[in-house]
Structure 1
Amino acid sequence: MSDMPHYEDQYLDLMRHIWRHGDERVDRTGVGTRSIMGAQMRFSLADDAVPLLTTKRVYWKVAAREMLWFLTGDTNIRELVKQGVHIWTDWPLDVYRRATGEDIDRDAFEARIIADADFAARWGDLGPVYGAQWVNWPIYEPAGDGLYRKRDRGHNQIAELVDNIRRNPGSRRLLFTGWNVAEVPDMALPPCHMTYQFHVAGNRLNGLLFQRSCDLGLGFAFNIFGLTMVTRMLAQQCDLEPGEVVWQGGDVHLYLNHADLVEAQLARKPAGAPRLRIARRPESIFDYRIEDFAVEDYAPQSHIAAPVAV
C-alpha cells in the first residue's frame, strides 16, 4: 500500500513541472513568475476525503471562514478581520496607503477597521467581488427615457443552483460565476477562482472549478479546500453523496520569490488521509456556521512561510 500514489503527488508533480519548465514572465505584481497555460487535477471525496495538502500545514479554517463570508454576499473586510482572517486586508491597505500617504501597518489598519464602522465603510470595501456576484448579481430594469436602474436585490446564483440541482440534476447549466465583465474594473481583485460547475452522476455530486489565475504555491491550497467545502454543502442540501472534485487552471504559476517554499515542499513526501466532517444539516446552504466543519486525521508537516504578491 505504501507504493500507491498519494492524492497530493499530482500537485507536487505540477509544482515541479512549472518550476523547471514554466515560462518566466513579468506579471501584474512586478514580482515575476514561472507560468504554464492549462492544468487539471482530480480528487475523490469518497468517505469524507478532503484534498488538504500534507507537505505543509494549511490553515483550513481560514479558507472555510472565507467561503462562508462569500455566501453572505459581504464585500467588506470588517467581518473577516473580526474573525482573525487577514487574507483580504493587503488590497484595501495598499489603497489606503497610496491615497493618504500614511505608512500604517496591517495590525493598526485592521484595528481601525474593527473599531470604526465609518472608516471600514470607506476603506474596507473590496468592490463587487465574489460573494456580491454569487448571491446578488446585478439586475437592471427600464427606468424610462432609455435609462436603466439597478434593482435593490440582484440575482442569487447560489439559491438558483440548489434549486436546479434538486429539480433538474441532468442539466448542463449547474454553475455559478464571479466574472461579471461590467463590474470587473470596480473589484479590488477580479475573481481568480471564477467559475464553479456541478454534475450529478447517479446519487453523486461532482464539482469543478475553473480558475483563470492560480498562485500554486499559496492560493491553490485554499482554492481546492473551498471547492471541496462548497461541493460537500451542496451535496448535503440536495440529498446527494459527494463524488469528486476537478480543478482546472488557466494561468498556473509560481512566484519567483517563492523559491524557498518550492524547494522545501518538493523535498517532502505527502502522507495521510484527512477527512472533512459536517456536523449538521442546516435549513439552507446559507445557514452553515464555522462550528459545523471539522477536519480529522490531518497531520501535516510544518508551515512554510512565503510572501503574498499584491
Structure 2
Amino acid sequence: MSKADDLFIAMCKDIIENGYDTKGEKVRPKWEDGTSAYTIKRFGVVNRYNLAEEFPAITLRKTYIKSAIDELLWIWQKKSNNVHDLHSHIWDAWADEDGSIGKAYGYQLGVKHKYKEGMMDQVDRVIYDLKNNPYSRRIMTNIYVHQDLSEMNLYPCAYSVTFNVTGNKLNAILNQRSQDVLAANNWNVVQYAALVYMMAQVTGFEPGELVHVIADAHIYDRHIPIVEELISRPTYPAPKVTLNPDVKDFYDFTVDDFTIEDYQTGPQIKNIPIAV
C-alpha cells in the first residue's frame, strides 16, 4: 500500500480518538447554513514522507495530482494572487469581483527583497542558494507577512517552507498553521512533494524527505462520518510520478511535465461540505 495512506489513516484515527472537540467554543468558520463549524483537532501533527521511496499520493480516494500542481505553480511560479490565472475554482470563495485574493500567497512570493547578492523574490532566492550555497541552513520562504495581513482575503495556511540539502538529497519542511484534514491534507502533501521534485531537478539534487508540520490538524464535525468511511477502505500501491528530465529551469515547468502512472484508488468523495 501507499505509505501516504498509512500516515493519513494513523493521523485521522489519532484525531478522532484522541483529539480535542471545539464544540461550544467561539470559532470563526461557518457552514453554508450559517451554523458554526466545530472540529476535533490535534496540536502539532508531524508527518514524514520519503520522496526517494514513493510519491506520497493517497489511494483511499483520488487526489487530483495535476490540479494540485497547477495551484502550486500558480503560487510559486506565476506568483499570482488572481484566480483568473488558476484553472480550478477552489479559491473563488475568497476572491473579490476582480478575481484577487489580496496580498496573499503568490503575491508575497513575488515581492522582491534586498540581499547582499542583489534584489530577488523569495523563490529566486531559494533557487540561487540551492545552486550557489546548497548546504546553507538559511534557505526558506515565509508568506505570513503581518504588515499585509489586513489586505489578505485569507491568512496563509501553508505559510513557510525550509529547504535543506543533506548529501545529494533535497529535503523540505512545510509549516502549516491550520489544516482541514479531509479537504486539504493530501492535496498539500502532493503539492509540496511536487515542489521538491522540481527544485531538486533544476538544482542538481535528488528528492529526499518532505516533513509536514501542522499546528492545528482538524476534522470538521460534519466530516467525521466521511473520514471514518474513508479510512476503512482498502489501499493500493502508490502511483509512479515522474518529471520531464529535459526541464532545467523552474519557470519552464507545466503540469504536463508530470507523468502519472498506475494510480489505482477508491471511489471519489463528492460534495464535501466546506466551512468558510
Q: Does 1:127 align with 2:102?
A: yes
The secondary structure found in structure 2 opposite 1:36 is strand
Contact 1:170-1:199 at 8 Å conserved across structures: yes
Judging changes above 3 Å, is the alpha-carbon distance between structure 1 residues 163 and 171 closer, same or farther for their aligned structure 2 residues?
A: same
Per the alignment, residue 88 of structure 1 pairs with 91
> Shift of the alpha carbon at 1:283?
4.4
> Shift of the alpha carbon at 1:280?
3.7
Judging changes above 3 Å, is the alpha-carbon distance between structure 1 residues 232 and 293 closer, same or farther for their aligned structure 2 residues?
A: same
Per the alignment, residue 47 of structure 2 pairs with 41
The secondary structure found in structure 2 opposite 1:38 is strand
Distance in 1 separating the partners of 2:111 and 2:261: 34
The secondary structure found in structure 1 opposite 2:250 is coil
The residue identity in structure 2 corresponding to 1:124 is G
TM-score by length of 2: 0.89
> Shift of the alpha carbon at 1:291?
1.0
Distance in 2 separating the partners of 1:132 and 1:226: 18
Distance in 2 separating the partners of 1:170 and 1:79: 34
Per the alignment, residue 141 of structure 2 pairs with 176
The residue identity in structure 1 corresponding to 2:55 is V
The residue identity in structure 2 corresponding to 1:157 is Q
Per the alignment, residue 304 of structure 1 pairs with 269
The residue identity in structure 2 corresponding to 1:133 is Q
Where in structure 1 do 4 or more consecutive aligned residues deviate above 4 Å? none
Superposed, 1:10-25 pairs within 5 Å as 10-25=7-22
Q: Does 1:67 align with 2:41?
A: no
Per the alignment, residue 77 of structure 1 pairs with 83
> Shift of the alpha carbon at 1:263?
1.4
> Shift of the alpha carbon at 1:74?
1.2
> Shift of the alpha carbon at 1:79?
2.0
Superposed, 1:82-161 pairs within 5 Å as 83=87, 85-92=88-95, 122-136=97-111, 155-161=120-126
Distance in 2 separating the partners of 1:281 and 1:181: 39
TM-score by length of 1: 0.80
> Shift of the alpha carbon at 1:138?
6.9
> Shift of the alpha carbon at 1:192?
0.5
Q: Does 1:228 align with 2:175?
A: no
Per the alignment, residue 153 of structure 2 pairs with 188
The secondary structure found in structure 1 opposite 2:268 is coil
Distance in 2 separating the partners of 1:193 and 1:279: 27
Cα shift readout 1:197-254 (whole Å, capped 9, x = no counterpart)? 1111111111110111111111111110111011111100111011111111101101
1:202 corresponds to which of 167, 189, 195: 167
Contact 2:113-2:121 at 8 Å conserved across structures: no
Distance in 2 separating the partners of 1:218 and 1:286: 28
Contact 1:6-1:271 at 8 Å conserved across structures: no
Distance in 1 separating the partners of 2:56 and 2:113: 34
The residue identity in structure 1 corresponding to 2:83 is I
Cα shift readout 1:147-170 (whole Å, capped 9, x = no counterpart)? xxxxxxx84111111110111122
> Shift of the alpha carbon at 1:137?
5.1
Per the alignment, residue 33 of structure 2 pairs with none
Who wins on radius of gyration, i.e. which is larger? 1
Aligned Cα RMSD in Å?
1.8
> Shift of the alpha carbon at 1:62?
1.3
Cα shift readout 1:28-50 (whole Å, capped 9, x = no counterpart)? 21311111110111111115x21
Superposed, 1:198-277 pairs within 5 Å as 198-277=163-242
List gaps (5 residues or longer) in structure 1: 96-121, 140-153
Distance in 2 separating the partners of 1:204 and 1:281: 20
Aligned length: 261
Contact 1:35-1:254 at 8 Å conserved across structures: yes
Cα shift readout 1:68-99 (whole Å, capped 9, x = no counterpart)? 1112111111122xx3x01101223xx6xxxx
